[in-house]
Structure formats: structure tokens, C-alpha cells
Chain A
Amino acid sequence: MTRRLFLALALSLAAAPSAMAQDPVDPSLAGEELPSIDHLLTGLETNLNFDTRSARIRMTVVNPRRTKVYEIFSYGRGLDESTMEFLEPARERGTRYLRRGDEMWMYLPSIERTQKISGHMLRQGMAGSDMSYEDMTSSTDWAEIYDGEITAKEDVDGRPHWRVELTAKTDDVTYAKRVLWIDAETLIPSKQELYAISGMLVKRWMMSNVQELGDGRSYPMTMRIEDTLRDGTYTEIETTEIELGIELEEEVFSLRWLERG
């Protein structure tokens, strides 16, 4: 009897640490059928990327001193190719950007030169906005770059969202950690918090004004980016027109187009 009691006690003591070591499940997930991370990220990527598209965009850059509004026209193909041309204001008119994979170039009409954006320039905000060139060139194949975990189910703007924490697999990623609130229905990340390797929160991305496009996907027509390291600044990117499945010539994603338009 004593021996059995001792054995039971020993087994329970052995089991206790391992039980204690498991992360406590968020109460919001109790009883929920959790989707897989792959499903969420694949759905997100499907919504935000296109075979081909053209779009007209209004970018509003707000800082404590002033607000500046840019009108931009953009072409895109898949995940890796896009171009942009600034239409307004007059100072920026004719400035063009070309992105191919993780490389980016800009054409500056005032000096009639093409400049490759590399090195420290990548960290600068495009046209002084809170969206850096690095943000624009970094891969959106998050399933490849991050390990993910659903940590809660929360309401955002009255809609249920999955709270997903993504942790970078390697150190050479711009944001070592991302916390996403993915709409459970539309699979749009309504809110993101982006963290540096130090653990400091560096940016917030919000996506809203979600509309259903012709091919059944949901697309956020408005994005807001806040740089938490700068007080009183944010950038709002509003898609005013979008057209999918357009025919695009190969030349559109070439340096030749960049320089000549």
C-alpha cells in the first residue's frame, strides 16, 4: 500500500512540471475548431495577390507639420513584379518605381536618372511615408518565413478575428515577429503589429474597407500604416480604382519602361 502510494505520488510529481510547462490555452479558444496556420496564410495571400492588376491609389502622408497627398498609378503581376508612377503632386509627377523580386529601382525625372534602391536607402519611407522600400520588397510568403501560432480569437470592429503570432525562422527578416488579427470570414489581416528583433513594436498596419472583387476575393481598399517610432505620423493608402486580369506587356516590368514610361 505504502509502495503504491509512493509510486503514485512520484508519478504525479513527474507529470506536474510537464503540465506546468505547457502554455495555457487562451480562454477565447476554448471549444473552437481552430483553422490551420497554412489555411489562414494561404487565404490571406490569395486575397492580397493577383495574376495581373492595375490600380489607382491615393496615398496620404500625415505628420505633425503637414499632410501630403499623392496620386499613384500602379501595375502588378503576381507576388514579385510591380510598377508605380506618381501622377500628383507636380513635384513628384513622373517619378516611377519598378520592383522585381527583392530588387527595386526608382526613376527620378528631375535628374533623368534611374537609381537602384539598396543598402540603407531601403529603410527610408517611400515619398516620406511610413511604408519603407523594404516593406515593399519583402516577401509576403509568410508561411515560408515564419512559424505561426493561433493565440486567441478576438473581436476587431465587431467582427471575429484569429489572433496569429508569427515568429521569424531566421534573423535576416525585417520584422522578427508579426502579430496579425485575421478576419475569420474574409481572411484579411485587419490589424498587424510588426516587431523588431529587440522585441520593440515598430509599426502597425491596419486594413479596412474590405470589398469583394469580381473574382470572389476580398480586398482591403484602405490601408493605414503607423510608425510607432515617430509620434503623430501615419500613412493612409486608398485604392480608388482596381482592375484585375488585365493584359500586361513584358516591357512594363523592365528598366526601359521605368525610364521612358
Chain B
Amino acid sequence: MWILRLAFRNALRNVRRSLLTAATVIIGVALFVIFLTYLEGASKMMFEETTKYIGHAPIADTDFIERENLRPMYEYIPDAQAVVDAALAEEGVTDAFAVIESGVAISAGDELGDVFGMATGSQEGWYERIGLEDNLAEGVMPTGPGEWLMGSKLVEKAEASLGDEIILFGSTQDGSLSPLKGELVGVIHSGAALTDRSVYLSLEEMQFMVDIEGGAIQVLLYTDDTMNAHEPAAALQASPVMEGLTAQAWSSREPYNQIVPMMDVIQGILAGALVFLTALAIWNTMTMSVMERTAEIGVMRAMGLSRFGAVGMFVVEAGAIALLGGILGVLLGAGPAWYLETTGITFGEDIADQMGTDYAITSTMYGDFTAGIAVRGVILGIVMAVVGSFIPSLRAAAVQPVEAMRHGR
């Protein structure tokens, strides 16, 4: 306890230097809070948005997954309803829907065009789950087969209008040309390229197009824990209906199995860089402090202060400043973090469009400021101070009492 009292007293002896040290910590922690707020918020948004569309644990034919980039439509789930029923019976599974997605060429009106997009067919419950109606920019929701919704990007490219006859040229599971005709009744605009480049049909219509009666390309599982869908997926895998099929948590699938750990790495690099830069500044100020107090340290060492005690004195002093600096840094960073959480950063739809084919990226990404980020900010501030003060404090511990007292004269 006496070390703590000594540390606070020493911190107040040179207020200017202590404030400089604290300011370094404040800025470092504030920057950390701001960046982490945005990084975690944006990645959380991206994962939530993505898993909304791909499910927490998508189920597909094992051969389909192996060649997913080629989208081999003949590797489908023959009895989709049986898989849906088995999935819903598993603990932790809240929803399951059959989905078929296929590339199509789209024409509107009399002209046969060459606009390409994705046609998606699923059950009504899935469209409710992804909140399609919330993104209805124009028109109405379909009331039956032959009434379709189309993403705003496709509508623009195809030069389509509400009420237009839309022709989709897809292909069957054998690769044979397979057309469908419908009416455009609504336009979807979500800001996410994945959504805005799709045409939405009923599951039965897509089953007809691809010629897989009763089948689906995927069954999407939704669980009560997005980040821990492994357990229900593994439990379902043991079911007899899963023969030839694989249920895989989204975080285990490409490209997310690389993105999720990459976010941790980015966070680590960010923290490491801020600690390094801030610690350098603290090192500088603490070194000056040690040099100025050499005689004093000598006297204290002569009076029985151990080397450990000398190290502890300076580390605790830096830590005390950093604790205050960390709290103030969090408060300083909270302002911009709140702004990022409420207003976000808008990339512009062009950039989101270019990036959003694999990941559900919206044109505006928001931060997410949490108590966890605040706590990590304060801890990081203390870490910065400890790292920055350690070497100077070792130097203090190495001071010989006689030499130090002679130095002070």
C-alpha cells in the first residue's frame, strides 16, 4: 500500500510530466476505443447480415459443398421437407428453410436482354426471417406464384418497371435452358448487393425451373446462438436424413472461416500498434523521471528499498497515471464511438456493390460500442503504461545507492 501512496505522491510532484504521460494514454486508448467500436460493429453487422441470408448452419449435398463455386445444381437435396423437419426437431434450432438459388438471365418487357442476376426461391417464412418486406421500396409483396420481387440493382439494369412481364432464363439441373415468366410486383432496396441483385420467387417455382421436384439446393438452419451453431449442426449430422448431406456452421465455411480469425488478428495488430506507440512515449517520460530522481532513488535504496520495490514504484506510478488516462481515454473515445454507432460510415453503394457479392455489406456500416470495449480500453491503457515504464524502472532498480547519492550532489 505504501508503494501506491508513494506512486500517487510522485505522480503529483511533476504535474506537467504526469499530464503528458496521461495524455499519451488518453489518446492511445481513445483511438483504440474508436477503431474497435467500428471494427467490431462492422464485422458484427456483416456477420449478422450474412447469416441472415446463408443461415447459421447451411445444409447441402456434400458434393455440392466441395464444388460450391461451380454451383452443380444436380447435387441437390432430394427431399427438402424431411431435412427441414429433422432440423426443427433438434435442440437449439429455431428455424429451418429450404432454399434454391441459381444464376439467371433476366429480360423485362418485349426485349430479350442480357442482364444477369440470382434467382432465389424459398418458403414464405424465410422471406419474413430476412426481413424482405422491411426493404420493400416500391410495390407490394407477392400474393401468389408468378408475382415476383426484384432487387433494385437488377431493376435498374434490366430497365424494368412495376407491372412489367419478367422472363428468367435459368437452367435445369441437367443444364438445359429453363425459362420462367412472371410479373414484377415489388422492388427491394436494402443497400446490400447480395439482396439488391436477386429476384425472389416461390420455392415451387424454383423447383420447377431447376427441375428438382420436392428438392432444394440448401436447407438453412437458424439457431439461438449465431456464433455457436456447431453444436446443433453436429447433432443433426447424426440423423439418417442427412445421408450424403453436410450441415456446417457458417463460421466453418469459406470464406468466413478465414474472416472470423482475421478479425481477431486485425484487433490484435491494432492493439499492439497502439500499445507500442503509446509505450514509446511513456518510456520517454519515465526515463526522464528516473534520471531526475536518481539521487532520491539512491537514498531510498540505501534506506532499504529493494530492487523489486524500485521497479514497483515506477511501474505503479505509471499504472496509476494510466488508470486515470485509460478512464479518460474511454470517455474521450465514447463520443466518436457513439457517433459511429448512431450514424455510421457510408461507403457509397458502388463500393458496397463491388464488395458485396460474397459478404452482405451494406452501404452504411455502424459501430458497436460495448462495455467490453470500455474495459479493454482501460486495461490496454494500463498495459501501455506497464510496458512503457518497465525498462526505465529496471534502470532505477540498477542504481547503486552510493553512486546515486554522489550524483545528486
Contacts and interface: CB of A to CB of B under 8 A. Distances in A.
> Can you list the 8 inter-chain pairs with the closest CB atoms, starting with the nearest?
A128-B174, A128-B176, A111-B181, A111-B179, A127-B176, A128-B175, A108-B179, A65-B74
B364 interface: no
Given A111-B167, A113-B167, A128-B172, A63 B74 contact: yes
A125 interface: yes
Given A110-B181, A111-B181, A113-B112, A125 B176 contact: yes
A240 interface: no
Interface in A88-111: 91, 106, 108, 110-111
Given A111-B179, A111-B180, A129-B174, 12 more contacts: A64-B74, A65-B74, A106-B177, A108-B179, A111-B181, A124-B177, A125-B175, A125-B176, A127-B174, A128-B173, A128-B175, A128-B176
Interface of A: 61, 63-65, 68, 91, 106, 108, 110-111, 113, 115, 121, 124-129
B135 interface: no
Interface residues of B, number: 16
B211 interface: yes
Contact of B174 (A63, A106, A113): A63
B78 to A, nearest CB: 9
A71 to B, nearest CB: 15
A124 B167 contact: no
Q: Is the contact region of chain A dominated by helix, strand, or loop, or is it mixed? A: mixed
Nearest to A70: B176
Contacts of A124: 171, 175-177
27 contacts: A61-B174, A63-B74, A64-B74, A65-B75, A65-B173, A68-B174, A91-B211, A110-B179, A110-B180, A111-B179, A111-B180, A113-B167, A115-B177, A121-B177, A124-B171, A124-B177, A125-B174, A126-B176, A127-B174, A127-B176, A128-B171, A128-B172, A128-B173, A128-B174, A128-B175, A129-B174, A129-B176
Contacts of B173: 65, 128
Interface in B133-186: 167, 169, 171-177, 179-181
B7 to A, nearest CB: 74
Contacts of A115: 112, 169, 177, 179
A127 B177 CA distance: 7
Contacts of A128: 171-176
A106 B112 CA distance: 13
A205 to B, nearest CB: 19
Nearest to B76: A65
Contacts of B75: 65
A110 B182 CA distance: 11
Contacts of B174: 61, 63, 68, 125, 127-129
Contact of A113 (B74, B179, B211): B179
Interface string B71-88: 000110000000000000
Contacts of A111: 167, 179-181
B121 to A, nearest CB: 16
A126 B175 CA distance: 9
Contacts of B181: 110-111
Nearest to B181: A111
B355 to A, nearest CB: 26
A106 B174 CA distance: 18
A111 B167 CA distance: 8
A91 B181 CA distance: 15
B24 to A, nearest CB: 61
Contacts of A64: 74
Contacts of B176: 124-129
Contacts of B175: 124-125, 128
